[in-house]
Amino acid sequence: MPDYRNIKLKLDNLDIYYPLSKKVKLLRRISMRYFKGRLLDVGCGEMPYKNTVLENKTINEYVGIDIKSDIYQKNSQPDLYWDGQSLPIENNKFDCALLIEVLEHVPKPEIVLKEICRVLHKDGYLAITVPFLWNLHDVPNDEYRYTPFALKRILEDSGFEVVELEAIGSWHASLAIMMGIYCRRALKGRKRYFTSLIFKPIIKFLHKKDERMGKIDFTKNQMITGLWCVAKPMV
């Protein structure tokens, strides 16, 4: 089971360092503020954020659910399996839920969101992250990129009230991510190595600039790297 809590910026992770380190900080904050009791991690994969959210000792049960796949290592098997649409869980079973970098892969997001709403307590919370700036991945199961306006509408149409909705990164982070992706995914061999060596200090500088940014307004011409959201079932 991977654990990104102590991830460091290196030549070989210039593409993924920012989104991973940012999500660790974000989920730690969300967990401490909103989560308790039973937690359901929908589309958990190899559960890389399990240890982060479980730093919150008021969470007394973690359940990861995902579709069957051969990607899982022996120590990172999901606790439950599903078909990607219907959760094999009774109503109001969980106090909180995660949906981390999953919704962009779901062909019919309203179906999944309504299922999560069904299995949450009426006073439960759902935390979501989605990418906005990222290369095609998990092809052909890469379905969407969400604007804040679309994500809010889909959540409300699925029975959720949006509590918080913010961007994950702005212009500096966007440039850093694109430079990292270019180095690590567009180039090969010696070109990859030497370009990564040149770009690393620039990427590090851009990350630090982004960390000092305040809340990002969703205005015309604004660039974002992704979105995070906390929502709860409408009462």
Following DSSP, what letter does each residue of 5-61 receive, concatenated? TT----GGGTTTHHHHHHHHHHHHHHHHHH--EEEEEET-TT-TTHHHHTTSTTEEE
Compute the Cα dihedral for 162, 103, 233, 96 and give only its sign.
negative
Tens of pLDDT along the chain (235 residues) come to 788 999 999 999 999 999 999 999 999 999 999 999 999 999 999 999 999 999 999 999 999 999 987 776 666 789 999 999 999 999 999 999 999 999 999 999 999 999 999 999 999 999 999 999 999 999 999 999 999 999 999 999 999 999 999 999 999 999 999 999 999 999 999 999 999 999 999 999 999 999 888 889 999 999 999 999 999 999 7
- Ordered by where they begin, the domains of the chain are 16-170+219-233 (3.40.50.150)
3-state secondary structure of 129: strand
- The pLDDT, as a whole number, for residue 74 is 65
Closest by CA position to 217, among listed 154, 170, 156 = 170
- The pLDDT, as a whole number, for residue 214 is 84
Output the pTM of the full model. Answer: 0.94
- The pLDDT, as a whole number, for residue 68 is 87
- The pLDDT, as a whole number, for residue 88 is 96
Exposure on the CB side of residue 136, measured as CA atoms within 13 A: 5
Closest by CA position to 126, among listed 96, 156, 160 = 96
Give first-to-last CA distance, the chain, whole Å.
36
- The pLDDT, as a whole number, for residue 73 is 67
3-state secondary structure of 130: strand
Query: Using alpha carbons only, what angle is made at residue 141 by residues 135 and 179, rounded to the nearest 5 degrees?
Result: 10
